[in-house]
Structure 1
Amino acid sequence: MNAQNFESADRYSPLTYSSGDVHLPEFRRTTIGLALVFWAIVLVTDSVLWGIAGSSLGKSMIGKLALTGLGALLAYVVSAILWRLRNRSLLLKAGVGLCLAALSAPVYAYADFEIFRWTAYPKPAPFEWLIFGTTLTSATAMFFGWSCLYIALVYTYEAREREHRLAMVREEALAAQMQALRYQVNPHFLFNTLNSIAGLIEEGEVLRAERMTLSLSTFLRATLELDPLRDVPLEVELGLQQEYLGIEQERFSDRMCFSINVPAEVRQALVPNLILQPLIENALKHGVGRSSELTEIRIKAWRDDETLWITIENEIGSSSGEPMPTSLGIGLKNVADRIQARFGYSGYFNARVAEGNLFRVKIGLPLMFGDIGDHVV
């Protein structure tokens, strides 16, 4: 499901990171495992080649093990040097790896000859430059191959660490953004409600203003106790909005009513807390507040496969003579931003004038159930 009709999209500037240390314990285990496989293959290959050259398997085994151990030791030195160069350019590391392979190969090739001569005794095993050159070439390729494998391994783990750090930074940024958007909602609501109370006082409705003030205190206490980064069941969210609508009904008792049509199967679905608050405020401002006639606010929710759909509808009042709004206000924009920041392309937001002068806001959220603590931004 694609996100549609967002008022604005958050744009993130690219983040860059310098290469840091990889997760060393896991990296060491992987390196040791790779080295064991690599030198086991070398041991098997040498056994075959020495058998072709006339060396017996039993007598040459100690020699082959000693040669393989020497090769592993040289590879360890090569790896230690390349590790110190891990933050340098790939071209430099490849060049150093080739040089180290060229330096290690003669040592390995000469040791190969001496061990072979020992295992072949009492048969003569004269030094032959052709055989030595062949061994030298294969040893150079072998150590350079190990260097390339090690460089690739370091690069892979560094890339994984960078991705992990980037994910953590993005998660922290998302949490901060969600919290900021949540706190933009509360002052907006408080401003509207205090204006309502002031209006009642100006009209001489002191008892209604007192009831509204007490209801406001209860509502604010409930909302401020909510963790802005934790989801709440839809039933709790609807309860808060009913409390808010009850507050506003003190002011608009003669021209406001509301209905909530939400089946039991989705009432325990988790939603970001106060996600409906700006939508209700918008319906009051551009619906009830602009009309002298009875205006109904309709809240509806339902499940479609793995998506929770919620709509809020109201007639757009026109008796005040004010022009009809042509763009989203800050409240609706905050909801669109919260959905996009939290769910990305899995969320949906659409606000438009539907049939006649009916204004409809529709949001879609991934359907989630479970304990409140299980879903944290």
Structure 2
Amino acid sequence: MKWQSLVDNRQRFFWVLQIAGWLGYALVNYIGSKVFEMRDIYVFVIALNAYAGCLMTVPLRYLYRKIWNASPVVLILVVFTASYLTGTLWAVVQKFNHWEIYRHGYRPDEWFYYLQQGLDSVYIVLCWSGLYFGIKYYQLLQSERQKALKANTMAHEAQLKMLRYQLNPHFLFNTLNAISTLILVEENKDANQMVSRLSDFLRHTLNTDPIKKVPLEQELHALTLYLEIEKVRFDERLSIELDVTEEAEQALVPSLILQPLIENSIKYAIAHIEHGGKIEIKAQVFANELLLEVGDNGPGAELEDGQLKSAQGVGLANTKDRLKTLYENNYSFVLSNNEPSGLKVNIRVPYERAKK
């Protein structure tokens, strides 16, 4: 944003406000001259006075920057003294411009005119000083706020990366164990096939930023790579059913959000079924929300208030933590018993459509 860029550039921002402020002062005085029907030459006097005020207040900026970290008492004393001296000097310049140019050498007889003009100028310079400190403090607060937001964002990113990368070693450990078993029983063809598919899956995950969200269609592709590895282990014992709408395929989801759920189903459900293990994956968009469901036909688990009564592995816990980090309270993660048997995981997140 151009305005934000201007505010961030303090040097440029000061000069914009300085010039605009004194132009505004000149404009107000010009309007006043029209009300009191001053001669046209008075416009020149107004311009000279505003120009003088603009020049004389610039040194105050550098003075205030030098005493910025001084104690409040010193700060107040310096501000009032500098404003009084600058205002008085500016009043002298204004008197000279008014009497020599507009009044052709006129001098008032009463001292009251001198004092009144001087006090008015001091008040204006004091207002200038107050605005300077107010804007300066505002800029500092904005700067601290941006630093805090940046630090918070970096902390969230670090947490998300930790949670995402914690899953990869866990999955890798299980896969390498399976490959080792295949080699021990001399099923070298299956072991080679599993290594090749593991390589494809890891290449895909390493090329995916764990912070960015990806279209569900891309997430399902990564899931297919993972399931091809598991099918080498389970062969016909593992079957997958997909029910995903076209609209849901374009929804943005955290990368590899489904893989740990599938891994959990395989570990605690499919691995314990001798015949016909099945995993169902459903996705649809409803009321501007993406609804994801992963269910299996395993033995199920003991639940309490939609959560596991006893923790099983890191997959479910990490998935929930990632959702909380990304969506705060605007999500749901609920477990329920599947019918006629098994466990079902339901996830609800805001619907965000991927850009084409």
TM-score for both structures, normalised by structure 2: 0.81
Aligned residues: 345
- Give the AA of the match of 2:97: I
1:68 counterpart = 2:53: no
| 1:278 aligned residue (235, 260, 282) | 260
**Residues 240, 110 of structure 1: CA spacing in aligned structure 2 closer, same or farther, 3 A cutoff?**
closer
Deviation at 1:49, TM superposition (A): 7.0
- Give the AA of the match of 1:242: T
SS at 2:299 equivalent:
coil
**Residues 129, 258 of structure 1: CA spacing in aligned structure 2 closer, same or farther, 3 A cutoff?**
same
- Give the AA of the match of 2:355: G
**Residues 212, 37 of structure 1: CA spacing in aligned structure 2 closer, same or farther, 3 A cutoff?**
closer
1:128 counterpart = 2:110: yes
Q: Indicate conservation of the 8 Å contact 1:196/1:248, yes or no.
A: no
Could you list the per-position Cα deviations for residues 217-256 of structure 1 after superposition, in whole angstroms to 9, with x for gaps in the alignment? 3333333343434443322321332332233233334643
- Give the AA of the match of 1:264: E
Could you list the per-position Cα deviations for residues 331-360 of structure 1 after superposition, in whole angstroms to 9, with x for gaps in the alignment? 122222222333334444333446675422
- For 1:175 and 1:101, locate their aligned partners in 2 and report how far apart those are by CA, in whole Å: 49
Q: Which residue of 2 aligns with 1:301?
A: 283
Q: Percent identity?
A: 28
Q: Which residue of 2 aligns with 1:12?
A: none
- For 1:329 and 1:45, locate their aligned partners in 2 and report how far apart those are by CA, in whole Å: 73
Q: Which residue of 2 aligns with 1:159?
A: 141
1:262 counterpart = 2:244: yes
**Residues 46, 240 of structure 1: CA spacing in aligned structure 2 closer, same or farther, 3 A cutoff?**
closer
Could you list the per-position Cα deviations for residues 49-89 of structure 1 after superposition, in whole angstroms to 9, with x for gaps in the alignment? 7789x995233333333222222222112222223344557
1:38 counterpart = 2:21: yes
Deviation at 1:262, TM superposition (A): 0.9
Deviation at 1:142, TM superposition (A): 0.6
SS at 2:310 equivalent:
coil
SS at 2:40 equivalent:
helix
Q: Indicate conservation of the 8 Å contact 2:299/2:342, yes or no.
A: no
TM-score for both structures, normalised by structure 1: 0.77
- For 1:93 and 1:328, locate their aligned partners in 2 and report how far apart those are by CA, in whole Å: 62
- For 2:270 and 2:339, locate their aligned partners in 1 and report how far apart those are by CA, in whole Å: 18
Show the 5 A alignment for 1:1-377: 26-46=9-29, 56-86=38-68, 93-119=75-101, 121=103, 124-201=106-183, 205-253=187-235, 255-292=237-274, 294-317=276-299, 326-327=310-311, 329-353=313-337, 358-365=342-349, 366-371=351-356
- Range that drifts further, 341-350 or 54-63: 54-63
- For 1:123 and 1:56, locate their aligned partners in 2 and report how far apart those are by CA, in whole Å: 17
- Give the AA of the match of 1:280: I
- For 1:84 and 1:356, locate their aligned partners in 2 and report how far apart those are by CA, in whole Å: 77
- Range that drifts further, 299-308 or 175-184: 175-184
Q: Which residue of 1 aligns with 2:305?
A: none
**Residues 242, 115 of structure 1: CA spacing in aligned structure 2 closer, same or farther, 3 A cutoff?**
closer
SS at 1:252 equivalent:
helix
- Give the AA of the match of 2:252: L
Unaligned runs of 5+ in 2: 302-307
Unaligned runs of 5+ in 1: 1-21, 372-377
Q: Indicate conservation of the 8 Å contact 1:97/1:148, yes or no.
A: no
Q: Indicate conservation of the 8 Å contact 2:252/2:352, yes or no.
A: yes
- For 1:210 and 1:43, locate their aligned partners in 2 and report how far apart those are by CA, in whole Å: 84
CA RMSD of the aligned region, Å?
3.4
The one of the two structures with greater contact order (alpha-carbon pairs below 8 A, sep at least 6) is: 1
- Give the AA of the match of 1:217: S
- Range that drifts further, 102-111 or 24-33: 24-33
SS at 1:36 equivalent:
helix
**Residues 218, 26 of structure 1: CA spacing in aligned structure 2 closer, same or farther, 3 A cutoff?**
closer
Q: Which residue of 2 aligns with 1:9?
A: none
- For 1:49 and 1:225, locate their aligned partners in 2 and report how far apart those are by CA, in whole Å: 68
- Give the AA of the match of 1:367: E
Q: Indicate conservation of the 8 Å contact 2:86/2:122, yes or no.
A: yes
Could you list the per-position Cα deviations for residues 240-278 of structure 1 after superposition, in whole angstroms to 9, with x for gaps in the alignment? 323322332333346432211112232233333222111
Deviation at 1:304, TM superposition (A): 1.7
**Residues 202, 318 of structure 1: CA spacing in aligned structure 2 closer, same or farther, 3 A cutoff?**
farther
